[in-house]
A and B are shown apart, each in its own frame.
Chain A
Amino acid sequence: MTTNKTSLAVAALRNGTVIDHIPADQLFKCVKILGVENLSNQLTIGNNLMSHKLGAKGIIKIADITFPEKVLNRVALVAPTAVVNIIRDYHVVEKRPVVLPQTVVGIVRCSNPKCITNNEPMATRFEVVDAESRTIRCHYCNHATTGAKADII
């Protein structure tokens, strides 16, 4: 057996969703994006765990929940390396990477203070213009930013 402590911790969840391989400096943005702080479900957040790929990684485990794929994919904006594990009866029944969507609605605040979205009660909307660098452009004012720098609402 080569199972390390992290994967044991993942397996210890009976039913739920695990988001693994989050870059440590983006973990709390992912927490915000998923809105898990408002849930009453059992929640485990680990950060600065050892990772061969990332150096230090973060992990989010939420019991007894499945998110729509669309919601999980939002994480790709800040954590393109993240991997989703769906757990049922202590088993990983599904494992998949997150995929950056074409449009990002209601998650990122526009960095342009003169943008209409910062001055009107409305949802922000960004289009992904370059998936590689995760460059997103405001649908309204055309200001561009990158996922890593994105200010999460």
Chain B
Amino acid sequence: MNQHSLVSISDLSKEKMLRLLEQARYFEEHPNHKILDGKVVGTLFFEPSTRTRLSFETAVNRLGGRIIGFADANTTSSSKGETLKDTIKMVSNYVDLIIMRHYLEGAARYAAEVTDIPVINAGDGANQHPSQTMLDLYSIYKTQGTLQGLTITLVGDLKYGRTVHSLIMAMKYFSPTFRFVACDELQMPKEYLKYCDEQGIDYSIHTDFSAEVINTSDIIYMTRVQRERFTDLAEYERVKDLYTLHNAMLDNSRDNLRILHPLPRVNEISPDVDDNPKAYYFNQARNGLYMRQALICDALQIAPDA
């Protein structure tokens, strides 16, 4: 176990989060700082995720490091029945850092336990995806100038959306007010409501994506409502358009409001929002690059300005 591994957002203290935000800002100003010279990073994607892999690999390349790895499990020995442990042990002989995506939940924790080199979790099933959460945090911080005391509205699939669950956990240090906007079938699970209660996080639950909710938000975080999440397809047909954001809905919103979305989107944000300066989801993806540069350097214990 290497203590600089990043498996879950709950592994990060408030101080460390703030330090990572500052480092991401540094990389935004110096994206091509070659401080990974001589380092080899393994990107092990047991499940394909082109978006996340390209972001991590760009981060390593811009830092001047080298990459080995694979983009899906069919090309690895795990398809021949090798255990995850053995694959991790083998790769650990070659690289300085492992960035791993896996379809099984808890795989990243286990991988981090069986090796002495640091592991960054790039998503393990429905469980954790901490670099996504940190780039969300960076996007909020950058657009609002602070993380403190913001009103954040989460919309869409709050039941299965791991990004919104992790965001709640990450924001606990910063006295947020959350609005949970979803149909009954996809509302925030009880365990997260309980978490908010325990942490003293203010929240309210809405089934209407109303003007009142929109016009008092600092951040609106949209998520995909997927058909396969519904047990009752008639219910899906009934609600699928209720949680779509159109440009006209933003007419009386706050000047500082920004719209976030983890991407890819389907139809929950209408294309007419894209040209609104409050649309931030494409910039959000770019912020992922800087945040991942910060996470990689932290895992390797290399100071950004070295």
Report whether A117 and B106 are in contact in the complex, using a CB–CB cutoff of 8 Å.
yes
B94 contacts the other chain (CB 8 A): no
A selection of 30 A-B contacts at a CB cut-off of 8 Å is A114-B103, A114-B105, A115-B104, A115-B106, A116-B102, A116-B104, A116-B105, A116-B106, A116-B107, A116-B124, A117-B110, A119-B104, A120-B84, A120-B104, A120-B110, A122-B85, A122-B110, A138-B106, A139-B109, A140-B105, A140-B106, A140-B109, A140-B110, A141-B105, A141-B125, A141-B127, A142-B105, A142-B106, A142-B127, A143-B105
With a cutoff of 8 Å between Cβ atoms, the chain B residues found around residue A117 in the complex are 106, 110
Give CA–CA (A95, B169) in the complex, Å: 44
A115 touches which of B84, B85, B105 (Cβ 8 Å):
B105
With a cutoff of 8 Å between Cβ atoms, the chain A residues found around residue B102 in the complex are 116
With a cutoff of 8 Å between Cβ atoms, the chain A residues found around residue B148 in the complex are none
Taking CB atoms and an 8 Å cut-off, the chain A residues in 111-153 that contact chain B are: 112, 114-117, 119-122, 138-144
Taking CB atoms and an 8 Å cut-off, the chain B residues in 78-124 that contact chain A are: 83-85, 102-107, 109-110, 124
Please, how many residues of chain B have a CB less than 8 angstroms from a CB on the other chain?
17
With a cutoff of 8 Å between Cβ atoms, the chain B residues found around residue A139 in the complex are 106, 109
B266 contacts the other chain (CB 8 A): no
B126 contacts the other chain (CB 8 A): yes
Give CA–CA (A119, B109) in the complex, Å: 14
Give CA–CA (A4, B50) in the complex, Å: 70
Name the residue in B84, B103, B106, B191 with the highest tally of chain A Cβ atoms < 10 Å from its Cβ. Answer: B106
**Using a Cβ cutoff of 8 Å, how many contacts connect chains A and B?**
47
Interface size range on A against B: 10 to 19
Check A121/B83 contact, CB under 8 A, given A116-B104, A141-B127: yes
Closest Cβ of chain A to B273, distance in Å, is 34
Give CA–CA (A99, B202) in the complex, Å: 36
> Smallest CB-CB separation from B103: which chain A residue?
A114
With a cutoff of 8 Å between Cβ atoms, the chain A residues found around residue B110 in the complex are 116-117, 120, 122, 140
With a cutoff of 8 Å between Cβ atoms, the chain B residues found around residue A112 in the complex are 105
With a cutoff of 8 Å between Cβ atoms, the chain B residues found around residue A143 in the complex are 105
> Smallest CB-CB separation from A119: which chain B residue?
B104
Give CA–CA (A120, B81) in the complex, Å: 10
Give CA–CA (A142, B8) in the complex, Å: 10
Report whether B104 and A114 are in contact in the complex, using a CB–CB cutoff of 8 Å.
yes
With a cutoff of 8 Å between Cβ atoms, the chain B residues found around residue A122 in the complex are 85, 110
Closest Cβ of chain B to A126, distance in Å, is 12
With a cutoff of 8 Å between Cβ atoms, the chain A residues found around residue B105 in the complex are 112, 114-116, 140-143
> Smallest CB-CB separation from B114: which chain A residue?
A122
> Smallest CB-CB separation from B110: which chain A residue?
A116
With a cutoff of 8 Å between Cβ atoms, the chain B residues found around residue A116 in the complex are 84, 102, 104-107, 109-110, 124
Taking CB atoms and an 8 Å cut-off, the chain B residues in 181-211 that contact chain A are: 191
User: When A and B form their complex, which 9 residue pairs have the shortest distance between CB atoms, in order from nearest?
Assistant: A140-B106, A141-B105, A141-B106, A116-B106, A116-B107, A116-B104, A140-B109, A116-B110, A114-B105
Give CA–CA (A115, B103) in the complex, Å: 9
> Smallest CB-CB separation from B8: which chain A residue?
A142
Closest Cβ of chain A to B204, distance in Å, is 25
Closest Cβ of chain A to B245, distance in Å, is 31
Give CA–CA (A46, B268) in the complex, Å: 61
With a cutoff of 8 Å between Cβ atoms, the chain A residues found around residue B107 in the complex are 116, 140
Give CA–CA (A140, B127) in the complex, Å: 9
With a cutoff of 8 Å between Cβ atoms, the chain A residues found around residue B106 in the complex are 115-117, 138-142
Closest Cβ of chain A to B92, distance in Å, is 16
Closest Cβ of chain A to B126, distance in Å, is 7
With a cutoff of 8 Å between Cβ atoms, the chain B residues found around residue A120 in the complex are 83-85, 104, 110
Give CA–CA (A26, B105) in the complex, Å: 29
With a cutoff of 8 Å between Cβ atoms, the chain A residues found around residue B125 in the complex are 114, 141
